[in-house]
Amino acid sequence: MNGRLSEVGKGARDVVPIVVGAVPFGVLFGALAAEADFGLLNTLLMSLPVYSGTMQMIGLNMISIGTSWPIVAFASFIVNSRHAFYSAALTPHMRQLGLGWRLALSYGMTDQIYVLAERRYANRDGSTEKHWYTLSTSVVLFIMWLASTWVGFGFGDILKEFEDLGFDFALCATYVALAASSFADFRAIAAGLSAGLLAVALFGVPYQGGLFIAIIGGIAVGLGADKLFPPKPEEEPAENLAAAETPT
């Protein structure tokens, strides 16, 4: 029990910078939904099946102009397709968990939560309760996202007076900080730079299709660098602890 509480506490603590960056984005979404006469209930419910700030912005605009639902669904698939890579990366750590746990954790797996989870699982402290850490970060962020969306919907006109203060930059700064912590060696740096350059070059591709291509390119470069310059024995990661973890 102490191990679980410790992981929950760590998760709630570590997700605070993420919340600071996400709240302005949630407020903005709520305010835009109010302007589009989307309705408070519909606005909040949109976070249940989608729960993706970027796609919710895109989807709100598409729905407002009368786009058919198959097109909206397809756009959502393209924008959120990167989550398949998150699943593949975390599978070794979570395959021993029960179906209920895997469903719950996959639902809350945003970009930021993935980075926190990947970093936590990479920590070689022997904890077998790290899934509680991931759950804690996901729950806190989801609650704060809904709360900020509600605030934006109800008080968007008042909050617009503060938009020139640049609070939206907090989200960008959060992403940069999370990404920078993952560049542990030159192979990771090569993959990250390649993906970043491709994402910038393909920025104009509709529905963030360029981002999907950039992810593929970054993975290819990372795999190539790993083959050409394999890590030395002292660089090899510790044995995966997933086999020893028992779902609770």
Give residue-wise pLDDT tens across range 97-155: 999 999 899 888 888 898 899 889 988 888 888 999 999 999 999 999 999 999 989 88
Tally of residues, the chain: 248
Q: What angle do CA 155, 157, 163 make, to 5 degrees?
A: 100
pTM: 0.68
Question: Rounded distance, CA 110 to CA 143, Å?
Answer: 13
State residue 167 phi and psi, 5-degree precision.
-65, -25
pLDDT, one tens digit per residue, over 210-243 is 777 887 888 788 778 777 777 665 544 443 433 3
Minimum mean pLDDT range among 14-18, 68-72, 78-82? 78-82
3-state secondary structure at position 211: helix
Residue 26 confidence (pLDDT)? 87
Residue 144 confidence (pLDDT)? 93
Residue of higher predicted confidence among 176 and 49: 49
pLDDT, one tens digit per residue, over 176-197 is 665 666 666 777 788 888 888 8
Residue 238 confidence (pLDDT)? 43
3-state secondary structure at position 182: coil
Residue 157 confidence (pLDDT)? 67
Residue 237 confidence (pLDDT)? 47
| For range 80-84, the mean pLDDT | 76
Domain extent listing, the chain? 2-80+98-183
Amino acid at 90: L
- Record the tokens describing residue 124, joined without a space: 């070689």
Question: Rounded distance, CA 244 to CA 204, Å?
Answer: 45
Question: Rounded distance, CA 107 to CA 49, Å?
Answer: 9
pLDDT, one tens digit per residue, over 160-172 is 565 555 555 655 6
Neighbours of 134 (CB within 10 A): 26
3-state secondary structure at position 177: helix
End-to-end CA distance of the chain: 10
State residue 202 phi and psi, 5-degree precision.
-105, 25
Contacts (Cβ under 8 Å, ≥6 apart) of 110: 51, 52, 138, 141
Residue 73 confidence (pLDDT)? 82
Whole-number mean pLDDT of the chain?
79
